[in-house]
Amino acid sequence: MKVYQTNEIKNIAILGSSGSGKTTLAEAMLYEGGVIKRRGTVDTKNTVSDYFPVEKEYGYSVFSTVFSVEWQNRKLNFIDCPGSDDFIGGAVSALNVTDTALMVINAQYGIEVGTINQFRYTEQFNKPVIFIINQLDQDKADYDGIISQLKENYGNKVVLIQYPIHTGPSFNAVVDVLKMKMYKWKPEGGVPEVLDIPAEEMDKAQELHAALVEAAAENDDALMEKFFEEGTLSEDEMRTGISAGLALRGMFPVFCVCAEKDMCVRRTLEFLGNVVPTVDKMPHFKTTDDRDIAPDSNGPTSIFFFKTTIEPHIGQVSYFKVISGRVKEGDDLLNADRGSKERIAQLFVVAGQTRSQVTEMVAGDIGATVKLKDVRRGNTLNGKGADYTFDFIKYPNSKYRRAIKAVNESDSEKLGELLNRMREEDPTWIIEQSQELKQTIVSGQGEFHLRTLKWRLENNEKLFIEFLEPKIPYRETITKAARADYRHKKQSGGAGQFGEVHMIVEPYHEGMPTPEVYKFGGQEYKISVRDTQVINLDWGGKLVFINSIVGGSIDARFLPAILKGVMARMEQGPLTGSYARDVRIIVYDGKMHPVDSNEISFMLAGRNAFSTAFKEAGPKILEPVYDVEVSVPADYLGDVMSDLQGRRSVIMGMNSEKGYEKLSAKVPLKEMSSYSTSLSSITGGRASFNMKFSAYELVPADVQEKLLKAYAESQEED
C-alpha cells in the first residue's frame, strides 16, 4: 500500500443497532476494494470484523474492527463498531478518531434504540452522518416508513441520494438522484448496470433531485447564488455542496444497500471517495492544555493510541491515529503519559486480524503496531519538537455491577491480572478491589456485557468464575448530639493501662458553628476550643476533631491516640460495620494516671467512648443514590414508571425527545442491581438508560431495621 497524504485520507465509523448488518457491509466493502477475494458471512463465522472467539460463538460484534480500503486514489479507513449498547465503548473510541459516521439501519425494523443512542454520540462529537438503509431485500423491509421516521426524528436535514424501485425479495435496483441514473444488479450483486431512469419514475426522481440540489446549495454561498441564478447545479457542484453540508452536519444523505448481496456497496464507496470530507477539512484535535493541533504531515510527530487488543501468538496490538507529522518504522518516540521511550519497530495497515506492513504513515492516518513496551490505550507518543498529550475520549458511566470471584481461590491473583488486561481492551469495564466491601466489583454496561466477560475468562483463559450480588457501600451518620465517657483500666502485674475520655458527638455540616455550651440530662458542659482538626475522609464526608481539654486532665500527647481510636470506629461503624461520616467530636474531659496511662489506653478509651455516644446520637444509615435517566418509547412509559416506583425511586421529571420519552429519577443503588435486565424485558430491548452517582441519603426506617437485623445475625455467625 502506498503512503497516502493527509488530503487523501478519510476516516469513517460504521455504526448501527445489533442486526443492522454492519459486519456484512464491512465484508462487502473489503471485497469491492480488493482487500479480500471472497466475502465471509456471520453465519459461517469467517468475516474479517468478527474474528475473536467470543464473537464467533455468539454471532455479534464485541470489539470494534479497523480496516482500510483503497478507492479512487483515496484511503478510506473504517472502524466497524459493535451495535449493542453493552459494547458502546468501541463506538465512543471510534467516533473520537474518525471524521464521518455511516449509520446503518435495518430496513425491517427502522430506527431502533441503538440507532438513537449512537446518533446522540454523533451529535455530542459533532460528526457528519450518512444513513445507510440495509437489508432492503427482506420481506418486511419498509423504506418509506423509515424515511418518515428519519425525517420525524432529524428533520429536513435528511436528504435522499437514492431510493429503491422495489423492496423485499425483488429488490435489485435503485434510482440515484445525484447522478440521475438507475442502478440495477444481477442476483449476485457486484458491478451494476447503469441505466436511464424509467419514465414512470422520472417525476419522483426529478422532485428528489431538485430537493437535493437545493440542500447542496444551502451549504455554500457561491453555490446558493448560482442556484438562484440558474435554478440548478452541476454534479460536481452538488458534490461540493454535499461535502460542505456533511462537514457542518447540515445534511444527512440517505443511501440504499443490500450488503449481503453486494448491491449498491460499490456506489456507496464511490460516494465516500468523492464526497466525504478528508482529514484536513475536519476540526483539529486539542491537547490537554487546549492547544489546537492541525493534521500537518510536516509538523512534529505525535500519535495517539485509542485501542488495544490482545491476540493469540502476537500479544498486544496497539492501534493509533497520527495526530501530527509522520511516523516511520524505526522511529524512537517518547511516551508523554508514562515518560518512557518506545521504538516503533513495525507499522501495519490492518483488516481485522490481517496486517499489511507499511514503512510510513502521515497525519490523519490510522494504523497499528505491536510489541510496544509500555504503551496503554489513551497514551500519546511524541517525536522531537512535540510535547502534546491528549485526553479526549470520555466513556459512559457503568450501568450494571457484580462481585466476581474465582471458583478456585488459588486463581484469584490471575483473575485480577486478566481483568486489568481486559479493561485495557474494553475501557467501559470498571474494576474495583473494594477493601470496604471485601469484594472485587466489576461494573459494565449490562448483563450481556458481563456474560461475555465470563465466557472469555472460562473459554479463552480456562479460569472459572462466579458472579455474586455486590454488597452496597452504606454509610453511617448521626442526627443529634450525644455525650459519653469511657474508662479503660487494666492491671495484670507490672505497669497497667489507664485512660478515661469524655466526649460529645454531633452531626456535622459545612460551616456550622461550635456551641459554647451543650446540655445533656439537665447538666451543662462548657466548651473551650483549643484546637480543631478537619479530616476529609477517603470514603466521603468529614470528621471534625476538637480538643477542648482544660486544666491538663488529659496530656496533649494522648490526643492523637484518641483520634486514632475514633478513626478505627469510623472505618467500621457501630451500626453495620460500614464507614461513618459527617461527625464532629469534642473531647472535653478525661483522666490519666502518671504511671499507667499510655497511647493504647487512650486509643481504646476514645474508640469505646465514640461507639457509645454514636449509638445514642440518633444513628442513621445512608445509602448511595444515583441519578438515572431512561430513554423509552412512549408506549412503554407507564410500565417503566411503575417499575421504577417499585424500586423506591423519586421521579424528577419527564420530557419528549425525537419519538422517545426521557424519564429522570433518583434511585438507590441497591434497587438498580438487575435494572438493565428488567428494562430490556419490559420494553423488548427498545429502551436504554444511564446512571451516575448523586449523593448519600438516609434509608427508610424499615430498610434500616432490616439492615441492622442482618448485620446482627452475621456477627453472631462469625
| Mean predicted confidence (pLDDT) in 542-557 | 94
Residue 626 shares a structural domain with residue 612: no
Q: What is the pLDDT of residue 493?
A: 67
Same domain for 580 and 447, yes or no, is no
User: Does residue 405 sit within a domain?
Assistant: yes
650-657 and 579-580 strand pairing: unpaired
CATH number of domain containing 687: 3.30.70.240
- Where a domain ends, among 618, 651, 671? 618
Query: Where in the sequence is the domain holding 563, given as residue range(s)?
Result: 476-618
Strands (E), 126-279: 129-134, 158-160, 162-164, 173-176, 181-184, 193-195, 252-256
C-alpha cell at 341: 521511550
**Which CATH number characterizes residue 584's domain?**
3.30.230.10
Q: Are residues 15 and 139 in the same domain?
A: yes
pLDDT in the model for residue 44: 87
pLDDT at 686: 78
**Cβ atoms of 361 and 346 closer than 8 Å:** no
Where are the extended beta strands (E) located within 371-481?
380-382, 400-406, 430-434, 439-444, 465-468, 475-477
Q: Is residue 708 part of a domain?
A: no
231-251 confidence digits (pLDDT tens) = 788 888 888 899 999 999 999
**Predicted confidence band of residue 256 (pLDDT cuts 50, 70, 90):** very high
More confident residue, 258 or 44: 258
Q: Are residues 459 and 487 in the same domain?
A: no
Q: Are residues 612 and 541 in the same domain?
A: yes
Share of the chain above pLDDT 70, in %: 99
pTM: 0.86
Structure confidence at residue 207 (pLDDT):
95
For the segment 360-386, the average pLDDT, to the nearest whole number, is 95
The contacts of residue 436 (CB under 8 Å, 6+ apart) are 473, 539, 578, 579
- Report CA-CA distances (Å) from 23 to 27, 256, 699: 6, 16, 48
**Mean pLDDT in the chain?**
93
End-to-end Cα separation, the chain, in angstroms: 67
The whole-number pLDDT of residue 61 equals 87
Q: Are strands 360-362 and 326-328 parallel, antiparallel or unpaired?
A: antiparallel
- Secondary structure class of 227 (helix, strand, coil): helix
Confidence of residue 659 (pLDDT cuts 50, 70, 90): low
Question: Is 242 inside any structural domain?
Answer: no
pLDDT at residue 658 is higher than 70: no
One domain, residues 461 and 542: no
Residue 528: helix, strand or coil by DSSP?
A: coil
Note whether 182 and 166 are within 8 A (CB): no
Where b means 16+ CB within 10 Å and e means fewer, 262-288 reads bbbbbbbbebbbbbbbbbbbbeebebe
718 pLDDT above the threshold of 80: no
Considering the domain architecture, whether residues 155 and 181 belong to the same structural domain is answered as: yes
In angstroms, the CA 637 to CA 692 distance is 21
Looking at 422, 446, 471, the residue that finishes a domain is 471
**Residue 685: which residues within 8 A CB-CB, separation 6 or more?**
113
Q: Please compute the mean of the pLDDT values over residues 76-99 and round it to a whole number.
A: 94
Confidence of residue 677 (pLDDT cuts 50, 70, 90): confident
pLDDT higher than threshold 90 for residue 542: yes
Contact 266, 192 (CB under 8 A): yes
Task: Tell me which residue of 255, 213, 267, 211 sits closest to 236, measured CA to CA.
Answer: 213
Q: Of 39, 91, 28, give the one whose Cα is nearest residue 65.
A: 91
Q: Is residue 440 scored above 70 in pLDDT?
A: yes
Residue 607 in grid coordinates: 474508640
Q: Is residue 132 included in any domain, yes or no?
A: yes
Q: With DSSP H G I counted as helix, E B as strand and the rest as coil, what are the percentages for the chain, rounded to 5?
A: 30, 30, 35
Total count of domains within the chain: 5
Q: Which amino acid is at 58?
A: Y
| 709: CB partners within 8 A, 6+ apart | none
What is the reported pLDDT for 51?
Answer: 83
What's residue 684's pLDDT? 81
pLDDT, residue 674, reads 87
Separation CA 491–CA 169 (nearest Å):
94
* 319 and 193 together in one domain: no
Q: What is the DSSP letter of 435?
A: T
Would you say residue 668 lies in a domain?
A: yes
Q: Amino acid letter at 279? A: V
- Beta-bridge partner residues of 328: 360
Residue 1 lies in a domain: no
Our measurement of the distance from residue 37's CA atom to the centroid of its chain's CA atoms, rounded to an integer in Å, reads 36
- Which of the four pLDDT bands, split at 50, 70 and 90, describes residue 293? very high
Assess whether 375 and 418 both reside in one domain. Answer: no
Cα separation, 35 vs 610, whole angstroms: 72
Amino acid at 142: D
* Residue 669 near residue 625 (C-beta atoms within 8 A): yes
Residue 21, C-alpha cell as written in the block: 448488518
In this model, does residue 663 exceed pLDDT 80? Answer: yes
CA distance 124 to 118: 10
* Gyration radius of the chain's alpha carbons: 32
Contacts of 313 (CB under 8 A, 6+ apart): none
pLDDT, residue 282, reads 93
Same structural domain, 211 and 304: no
Residues 211, 216, 222: CA angle, nearest 5 degrees: 130
Residues 340 and 377 reside in one and the same domain: yes
Residues 66 and 26: their CA atoms lie apart, in Å, by 10
pLDDT for 317: 94
Residue indicated by cell numbers 450501568: 399
Amino acid at 536: N
Helices 265-275 and 235-247, axial angle in degrees (round to 10): 80
- pLDDT given for residue 79 in this prediction: 96
The Cα 698–Cα 665 span in angstroms is: 17
Tell whether 540 is covered by a domain.
yes
Residue 342 lies in a domain: yes
Say which residues have a Cβ less than 8 Å from residue 513's Cβ, sequence separation at least 6: none
CA distances (Å), origin 162, targets 66, 151, 158, 219, 237: 27, 15, 12, 20, 18
Give every CB contact of residue 362 below 8 A, 6+ residues apart in sequence: 3, 4, 5, 6, 9, 297, 322, 325, 326
| Alpha-helix runs per DSSP H in 162-198 | none
Cell of 279: 482529514
Q: Is the dihedral of CA 690, 693, 698, 701 positive or negative?
A: positive
pLDDT band with cut points at 50, 70 and 90 for residue 465: very high
Phi, psi at 277, each rounded to 5°: -60, 145
Q: Tell me which of 382, 409, 438 is where a domain ends.
A: 382
Clarify whether residues 680 and 560 are in a common domain: no
